[in-house]
Amino acid sequence: MVKSENKKVNKSIYLENVKERRVKENKMIFGIRAVLEAIEAGKEFDRILIRRDMNSAIGRELLEATRGRNFPIVRVPQEKLNRLTEKNHQGVIAFLSEISYQNIEEIVFRVYEEGRVPFFVVLDGITDVRNFGAIARTCECAAVDAIILPMRGSVSINADAIKTSAGALHQIPVCRVDDLTSTLNFLADSGIQLVAATEKSQKNYVDCDFTTPLAVVMGAEDIGISEENLKCCNHQVRIPMFGKIASLNVSVSAGILLYEVVRQRQ
């Protein structure tokens, strides 16, 4: 009886793994020539995985084709590629993006041109898909103009992120930037106040003026905002804690800060 149940469990796990792999393969393009053609056709990618030791002529052609494109290239061992698909990937697997990324400079120009007060959210090092989806949902409800995140060291916007956002990621512009520090400097030069959420600050978030052109900068729960990016910010604020736990979930913190902006602007 136990053996029979174990077989059923093992079969169930196997079928679930097969199903998950098929779902992932629907979002994949594999093979060097196929990925090259997709790039030339203007497809957007969440990321492209390339075998770590690839050095063929056509491999170099692929890398050249990705130069200046707005998606990350990740060098990985052969074994990782083999785990993702059993098909002939030729050392290259690309994941199609769930959304179309937008240009932050164009959005800043458009918001000012429309006579509105800019309101952006910058996410530095947020890697948890569900946290990101929850933040995106709050951003859309609070009428944030765009979410900005770095190309590397950041969350992959996959089906789980879309689902957690309740579809908000199809509504709100998302900008993926190559250099987050340079983007923060661009925002500051554009007259946008950068407000960092950090427990290192002594300033209560309600004491900050959020009625001006604004970008709220949030960091990962474990390491927070990087020192380099923190230096770019005009103000640092904290959410006061009165219990024994020292921090809030980042999506909860984002919700508190964004709706303080809404409150002040109303």
Q: What is the DSSP string of 40-67?
A: HTT--EEEEEEETT---HHHHHHHHHHT
Torsion sign, CA atoms 17, 20, 22, 27? negative
Residues 258, 143 share a domain:
yes
Residues 257, 137 share a domain:
yes
The whole model's pTM is what? 0.83
Q: Is the model's pLDDT at 246 over the cut of 80?
A: no
For the chain, the average pLDDT equals 88
CATH number of residue 67's parent domain: 3.30.1330.30
Residues 162, 79 share a domain:
no
Of 49-58, 106-115, 193-202, 255-264, least confident by mean pLDDT is 49-58
Q: What is the pLDDT of residue 218?
A: 96
Listed residues 96, 116, 136: the one ending a domain: 96
Q: What is the pLDDT of residue 6?
A: 54
Band (11; pLDDT cuts 50, 70, 90): low
Residues 143, 52 share a domain:
no
Beta strands in the chain (DSSP E): 28-30, 45-51, 73-76, 92-96, 119-124, 146-150, 174-177, 193-197, 214-219, 235-237
Among 8-12, 199-203, 254-258, the range of highest mean pLDDT? 254-258
Question: pLDDT above 70 covers what percent of the chain?
Answer: 90
Q: Is the model's pLDDT at 243 over the cut of 50?
A: yes
- Match 């090092």 to its residue by tokens: 125
- State how many domains the chain has: 2
| Domain-located, residue 14 | no
Q: Is the model's pLDDT at 23 over the cut of 60?
A: no
Start-to-end CA span in the chain (Å): 66
Nearest Cα to Cα of residue 116 among 216, 213, 261, 260: 213
| Domain-located, residue 12 | no
Residue type, 57: A
Residue ranges making up the domain that contains 208: 104-265
Of 84-88, 139-143, 206-210, least confident by mean pLDDT is 84-88
Give Cα separations from 52 to 57, 76, 78 (angstroms): 15, 5, 7
| Domain-located, residue 2 | no
| Domain-located, residue 61 | yes
Listed residues 96, 124, 140: the one ending a domain: 96
Q: What is the pLDDT of residue 16?
A: 47
Q: What is the pLDDT of residue 7?
A: 55
Q: Are 172 and 133 in contact (CB under 8 A)?
A: no
CATH number of residue 224's parent domain: 3.40.1280.10
Rounded to an integer, the average pLDDT of 18-41 is: 73
Residues 122, 190 share a domain:
yes
Residues 165, 65 share a domain:
no
Residues 235, 148 share a domain:
yes
CB burial of residue 68 (10 Å; 0-12, 13-18, 19+) = exposed
Q: What is the pLDDT of residue 25?
A: 55
Q: What is the pLDDT of residue 143?
A: 96
Q: Is the model's pLDDT at 163 over the cut of 70?
A: yes
Q: Is the model's pLDDT at 199 over the cut of 90?
A: no
Residues 248, 124 share a domain:
yes
Q: Is the model's pLDDT at 64 over the cut of 60?
A: yes
